[in-house]
Structure 1
Amino acid sequence: MTINMNDFPVIETKRLVLRQITKEDANDILRYLSDEEVMKYYGLNPFKSINDALDEISWYQSIQNNKTGMRWGITLKEQGAVIGSCGFHNGVSQHFRTEIGFELSKDHWGKGIAFEAVEAIISHGYQHMNFQRIEALIEPPNQASQKLVEKLGFVREGLLRSYEFTDGKFDDLYVYSLLKQDFDRTKKS
């Protein structure tokens, strides 16, 4: 299996342009990743400085360079500013699987933007990156993300107990999965 992550694909939807995030986007990233509500289930503390945002951008670049993931900046068409991100990480090419992650500036919650962006990258992942399985790991209190992935056809497979250690505590995570054939079936109906 080959996952081509060298050329960064720009994905356009009805309202959005999903594009590569660069150092020039650091102020936008800092703006929404410094918000406690946005970061509540992110697994990191709210960002405090531009260096935190630059470190995050470096991580996006490293997962792409290591061919274990790809992260898109979410922008509204004709506005350019990054208002969130979504993408794949922890990819395991020999097993044709990856994990998905996403977050969005609070100003844009409840408008269907995250759904539109995540649906687009899932479609791209199945069509161009040769995935068979996409997983989502979500904290039980994060009901908005659970609803989003369930609307996309993800199935909750179980609970990973004390799976992550963040902010001085262990967090449980629900594991969800979406198989290529299930996504294809929901797209046809």
Structure 2
Amino acid sequence: MQIDTPPRLPCPGLSLRQLARPDLDAWYAYLSTPDVVRHTSWNLRSRDDLLPLFDGFESPDPESIRRLAIVDDNAGGALVGTIGLHTVSDVHRSAEIAYDLAPSHWGRGIASAACSAVTEWAFAEYGFVRIQGVVLATNARSARVLQKCGFRYEGLLRAYRMVRGTSGDFAMYARVATD
């Protein structure tokens, strides 16, 4: 879904904008590094594996994927990460949040700031009542991002998703609009 007015990112020199096809090479460049995908369910073989996602980003369907680029304004708007909502349910007014960040920008609080900003924006902009985050059980850093943003641990989802050919256990976190 096209996002015309993204939330403001409270990080000096960084901003959010709609993720677009010209971002594909930069996105794939860091998503293809072992440190980035180690604790995720990404299974990319080439940049072409990302192309179908853009159809969802560009769809007007209210249940389509929403994805924002995290860009470095001091580096000409270079892509340094993404954050968005998928598994959107218009009926249940819920979505799942997901994010990724280039290793060069890890450890600066960017993922937490983006997660917090997008969560608050999604509640206000779309009227969601629930936003959940599902992270591979071994992904302590991502779990910490969700916890810092007020997401509550709801349990372990055993063998929830395939992770490069093997079933993986995932931790479920969620925030509701009344939290």
- Counterpart mapping for 1:86-125 below 5 A: 86-125=83-122
TM-score by length of 2: 0.89
Alpha carbons 1:74, 1:83 under 8 Å: kept = yes
Q: Which runs of 4+ in 1 moved over 3 A?
A: 47-50, 52-62
Pairwise CA RMSD of aligned residues?
1.9
Question: SS of 2:154's equivalent?
Answer: strand
Question: SS of 1:38's equivalent?
Answer: helix
The answer for unaligned runs of 5 or more in structure 2 is none
TM-score by length of 1: 0.84
Q: Do residues 68 (structure 1) and 67 (structure 2) align?
A: no
CA deviation after TM superposition for structure 1 residue 56, in Å: 4.2
- Counterpart mapping for 1:35-50 below 5 A: 35-45=33-43, 47-50=44-47
Question: SS of 1:181's equivalent?
Answer: coil
Alpha carbons 1:27, 1:53 under 8 Å: kept = no
Amino acid at match of 2:34: E
**Structure 1 partner of 2:9:** 13
**Structure 1 partner of 2:163:** 166
Match for residue 24 of structure 1 among 6, 22, 25: 22
Amino acid at match of 1:170: S
Amino acid at match of 1:26: L
Alpha carbons 1:10, 1:17 under 8 Å: kept = no
Normalized per residue, which structure has more helix?
1
Alpha carbons 2:150, 2:175 under 8 Å: kept = yes
- Output one character per residue of 1:88-146: Cα deviation in whole Å (capped at 9) or x when no partner: 00011111111000010011000011111111111110111101110011111100011
The alignment-based identity, stated in percent, is 30
d(CA) in 1 for partners of 2:124 and 2:147?
21
Residues 49 and 161 (structure 1), Cα distance of their counterparts in 2 relative to 1, 3 Å cut = closer
- Output one character per residue of 1:46-84: Cα deviation in whole Å (capped at 9) or x when no partner: x4544234344345335x646333110101234301111
- Output one character per residue of 1:12-44: Cα deviation in whole Å (capped at 9) or x when no partner: 223221111112112211211111111123312
Question: SS of 2:123's equivalent?
Answer: helix
